[in-house]
A and B are shown apart, each in its own frame.
Chain A
Amino acid sequence: QKEVEQDPGPLSVPEGAIVSLNCTYSNSAFQYFMWYRQYSRKGPELLMYTYSSGNKEDGRFTAQVDKSSKYISLFIRDSQPSDSATYLCAMRGGTYKYIFGTGTRLKVLA
């Protein structure tokens, strides 16, 4: 079993839709949770960073962490064609070693 599982998609939604992206993990030692966005042929760009459980909001993006269920989510409101990218979840525990999901490809249709 992989430490982090992420649905690879692709996920296609119409412009303006609410998008929900999710990851599950197995290591209860993970405390730091991140979401990255990666455009084709570019490096990943940090979107959201959360420590421990709870919600964090930044503009159209909301990150949620549920440590009891070992489940994290990223919500994108009012999705735009420019949001079309691959979204990677990442997490780490106390070892400074980051574990990434395989990424979900999102396409927002105009």
Chain B
Amino acid sequence: KAGVTQTPRYLIKTRGQQVTLSCSPISGHRSVSWYQQTPGQGLQFLFEYFSETQRNKGNFPGRFSGRQFSNSRSEMNVSTLELGDSALYLCASNTGQGETQYFGPGTRLLVL
């Protein structure tokens, strides 16, 4: 089975712009979670989508949003980028029953 894939792998944006990241889960997985990873804060949960509905949400501002499509692929959008949004954005998928989750390689976002 193919693993979790994320595109693009690297992005450079400037403050004020917006960005969309994409995640394709493992085939058969219906849950996709998004995380932000920074050296100072570690891995922080953004949100989780299951069957096209947001099932869980972390403590991030409304500039961070997401959605999931009927084929379980997910996108994450960050509007009005700030310098502090520079991070590795990871998505993870699981079947939806929550036994464990598998991560993609991440998208490294640099905001200048």
Residues of B within 8 A of A60 (CB): none
Q: A43 contacts B106, CB within 8 Å? A: yes
Size of the chain A interface, CB-CB below 8 angstroms: 22
A1 contacts partner chain B, Cβ-Cβ < 8 Å:
no
Q: B50 contacts A96, CB within 8 Å? A: yes
Interface residues on B, range: 20 to 34
Q: A100 contacts B103, CB within 8 Å? A: no
**Nearest chain-B residue to A6 (Cβ)?**
B42
B64 contacts partner chain A, Cβ-Cβ < 8 Å:
no
A-B contact count (CB 8 A): 54
A42, A88, A99: which contacts B45 (Cβ < 8 A)? A99
Chain B interface (Cβ < 8 Å from any Cβ of A): 4, 31, 33, 35, 42-43, 45, 48, 50, 55-56, 88, 90, 92, 96, 98-106, 108
Q: List 20 A-B contacts (CB under 8 A).
A: A42-B105, A43-B106, A44-B43, A45-B103, A46-B101, A46-B103, A49-B99, A88-B42, A88-B43, A95-B56, A96-B48, A97-B48, A97-B56, A98-B92, A98-B101, A99-B45, A100-B35, A101-B42, A102-B42, A103-B42
